[in-house]
Amino acid sequence: MIDSDAKLKQAKLSKNSYVLTPDRIMFEERNDKNGSPYLEIRYYDHNAQHISEAHFSSNPSSIKKFNINFLRSHLRRPELAVEFTRPKDVVRYQCLFRLPSFVITGKQHKFWKITEKVFAEEL
């Protein structure tokens, strides 16, 4: 298992990775081209650069995926075990989430995709 410091160092040295140091996070409910709501989460750094991720809630498996991939790491108090089923609920309760110290992204074709989030407790 690689520790967080090693992951950060490796990502900073790689030309196919980018490390964002976010200073704020924005949650927004959006609609896709079919009118279905989804959650867009943007991480901004102090230079107003951002990286975003989208989470859909159209079926039970995508909701479960969001609860596992996002909620587990972002909840300030994981013991709350809250499950959100609509993007509106996540936006309403955004004060429950913590901001990562670093967001590591990897290049996929011409886009950047979030591969890892490092929180202060892991450093």
How high is the mean pLDDT of the chain? Answer: 91
Q: Is residue 49 located within the same domain as residue 4?
A: no
Give the model confidence (pLDDT) of 27-39 as tens digits: 999 999 999 999 9
Report d(CA 36, CA 38) in Å as an integer: 7
Residues 63 and 122 in one domain: no
On whether both 5 and 39 belong to a single domain, the answer is no
Residues 15 and 26 in one domain: no
Residues 85 and 115 in one domain: no
**How long a stretch of residues is the chain?**
123
For 17-22, what is the mean pLDDT?
95
Same domain, 27 and 4: no
Q: Decide: helix, strand or coil at residue 81.
A: coil
The pLDDT assigned to 28 comes to: 97
Q: Is the domain of 59 the same as that of 1? A: no
Contacts (Cβ under 8 Å, ≥6 apart) of 112: 18, 51, 105, 106
Residues 9 and 26 in one domain: no
Q: How do residues 106-121 score in pLDDT, each as one tens digit? A: 999 889 999 999 999 8
Same domain, 8 and 26: no
Residues 45 and 75 in one domain: yes
Would you state the pLDDT for residue 1? 55
Domain around 89: 22-100
Residue 61 and residue 47 in one domain = yes
Give how many domains the chain has, as a whole number. 2
